[in-house]
């Protein structure tokens, strides 16, 4: 089954080149957009599996586009493709729900591999940025948690298998690595993660990893 991809960038030549490379490599480019408002409208209509997103967009910034679309469809994978390697930009993108972050200096082969891995649910980062993101997860987890709403019922229980998968997600393993470790299919791992997100009322992998670290699930 082909992977449906949407490309969002305000530079037409760059946008068209990325879309062409993806199409020639067997991906199904279902839409493109040149500004933030257009990106939100077209993504909701086209329902891509992966959104390749630039951060610097007219009308609405990329992080806001990411936040809105992941909120609308938590199953959407967002790969940020940006010229900026600034740590603040990377962390803001991840907090908004991006699955990965790749610099525009990456090769075509690196981009194609990143889109495939992003579609599979794996976090993909330009070398040197993965450690930064994990460090931010841990910093967030060390902050005081917001006060619990007294009217909210107790958090739902996870199954043993869901907890096991969550523990491995917190350790930074990809879905493929988790599947191999637990001798289950990649799709089963994805299903467990989606079920866990629903039970815990979380929206994306960032919130899931933070929850797991707060619960101490990343410790041996």
pLDDT in tens, 16-55: 999 999 999 999 999 999 999 999 999 999 999 999 999 9
How is residue 127 annotated by DSSP? T
| CA 79/CA 101 separation, integer angstroms | 6
* pLDDT score of 152: 41
Helix (H/G/I), strand (E/B), else coil: 213: helix
pLDDT tens-place values along the chain, 220 residues long: 689 999 999 999 999 999 999 999 999 999 999 999 999 999 999 999 999 999 999 989 999 999 999 888 888 999 999 888 788 888 888 888 888 899 998 899 999 999 999 998 788 887 777 666 666 666 655 655 444 343 444 556 888 888 888 888 877 777 888 888 899 988 888 888 888 888 888 776 767 777 777 777 766 5
The H-or-E segment that residue 195 falls in is: helix 186-200
Q: Give the contacts of 56 (CB within 8 A, at least 6 positions apart).
A: 10, 62, 82, 83, 84
* pLDDT score of 24: 96
How is residue 77 annotated by DSSP? E
* pLDDT score of 153: 47
**Phi, then psi, of 142 in degrees rounded to 5:** -85, -10
User: Cα torsion at 40, 137, 209, 215 (round to 10°)?
Assistant: -140
**Phi, then psi, of 36 in degrees rounded to 5:** -65, -45
* pLDDT score of 95: 81
The tokens for 54 are: 């630039």
Helices (H), 25-107: 36-46, 62-72, 87-95
* pLDDT score of 194: 84
Closest CA to 1 of 25, 22, 26: 26
**Phi, then psi, of 11 in degrees rounded to 5:** -100, 110
């Amino acid at each position: 089954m082909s992977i449906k991809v949407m490309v969002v960038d305000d530079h037409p030549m760059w946008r068209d080149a990325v879309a062409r490379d993806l199409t020639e490599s067997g991906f199904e480019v279902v839409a493109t957009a040149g500004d933030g408002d257009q990106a939100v409208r077209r993504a909701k209509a086209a329902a891509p599996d992966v959104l390749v997103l630039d951060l610097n967009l007219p009308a609405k910034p990329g992080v806001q586009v990411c936040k809105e679309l992941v909120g609308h469809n938590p199953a959407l994978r967002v790969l940020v493709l940006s010229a900026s390697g600034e740590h603040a930009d990377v962390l803001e993108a991840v907090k908004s729900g991006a699955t990965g972050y790749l610099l525009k200096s990456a090769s075509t082969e690196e981009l194609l591999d990143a889109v495939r891995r992003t579609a599979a649910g794996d976090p993909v980062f330009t070398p040197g940025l993965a450690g930064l993101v994990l460090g931010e997860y841990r910093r967030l987890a060390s902050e005081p948690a917001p006060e619990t709403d007294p009217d909210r019922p107790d958090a739902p229980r996870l199954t043993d298998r869901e907890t096991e998968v969550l523990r491995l997600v917190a350790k930074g393993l990809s879905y493929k690595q988790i599947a191999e470790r637990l001798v289950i299919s990649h799709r089963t791992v994805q299903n467990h993660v989606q079920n866990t997100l629903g039970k815990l009322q979380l929206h994306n992998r960032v919130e899931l990893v933070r929850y797991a670290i707060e619960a101490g699930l990343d410790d041996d």
